[in-house]
Amino acid sequence: MWELVVKGLGLYVVMAIVSAITAFAGSTVLGVILSGLLYIAFVVLMYAEGASAGEHQVGISDMVSRLRQEGKQPDARLLKSTYDPKKGICAFLILSLPLVALAVVNLILAPSSANENTLGTITRVVFLPQAFLTVLLNSLVKLDISGAMEAGKAVLGGIGYDGLDINGIIAATGKVGTYAFASDTSSLTLMRILYIPFSVLPPLAMLFGYLQGPRLRKRTLDAMMSGSRKKQRRMKKQNRGFKPAKPEI
């Protein structure tokens, strides 16, 4: 279990560093494309690590079974390294639950403005492997058009048919200031929501790969048996075609 957790955390840190370099370098479009491709590679690597560990541990389980059939007692190191689906599930939970909890808390406590609070900044740093989401959806933040319309109405509300309503204009000044800095932050809300499933996907890929261990082990053994049978048939053909030389008289 801990072998999977350590490998998963190692890959996560590496992808965070590489994504930070690529996502914020150059244009927004290029950064989104490069960091998006890196995220796909991250998911594939997590699957490959899980599959490799699962197949290896199934092989150890087979070794332990053979030793027990021979009446030998396998050592504790081998027993700890045997295949068990619960190990994959526990590794998945350890790798994903802290990220999900952080994403949910950040979504709940996120400010209504375009400016991030301290928790939001920490969340963006932790979710650097998903930097393509941050770059893309952060670039979609724009001024709130409806707010600008309300600002215009507030100013016009201070103009009456009998002339200028000075008190009304003064009262509307505060509203204009509020609307002038209003932004449409719906894309940021979507970003915070998407952090949740995208944080689960890489550990889930590792779990899925780990659970493929028995199938991959069987495929490897079948390939070895098939290669052995082909080699035996080839040797038989060579032996039939071999004619010993006749002794000279």
Asked if 220 and 62 count as a contact pair (C-beta separation under 8 A), the reply is no
Write the pLDDT tens digit of every residue in 47-82. Answer: 999 999 999 999 888 888 888 888 888 888 888 888
Please give the residue range of the domain that contains residue 206. 2-141+185-230
Per-run averaged pLDDT (10 residues), the chain, 249 residues: 87 86 75 86 92 90 86 83 90 92 90 77 85 78 56 57 56 53 70 89 93 88 71 63 54
Rounded to the nearest 5°, which phi and psi values hold at 97? -60, -45
- For tokens 């048939």, what's the residue? 233
Q: Phi first, then psi: what are they for 159, rounded to 5°? A: -110, 115
pLDDT the model gives residue 96: 92
Q: Look at strands 159-160 and 142-143 and give their pairing.
A: unpaired
Asked if the structure places residue 25 within a domain, the reply is yes
Asked whether the beta carbons of 54 and 219 are under 8 A apart, the reply is: no
pTM across the whole model:
0.71
**What gap in Å lies between CA 49 and CA 53, rounded to an integer?**
6
* Residue at 164 is within a domain: no
Q: Is residue 10 part of a domain?
A: yes
The two structure tokens encoding residue 50: 């899980």
Instruction: Kindly state whether residue 249 falls inside one of the protein's structural domains.
Output: no
The pLDDT value given to residue 51:
92
SS3 label, residue 164: strand
Residue 104 domain-assigned? yes
234: helix, coil or strand?
helix
Q: Look at residue 149 and tell me if it is in a domain.
A: no
Q: What is the pLDDT of residue 237?
A: 61
Task: Give the 3-state secondary structure percentages of the chain, helix then strand then coil, rounded to 5.
Answer: 80, 5, 20
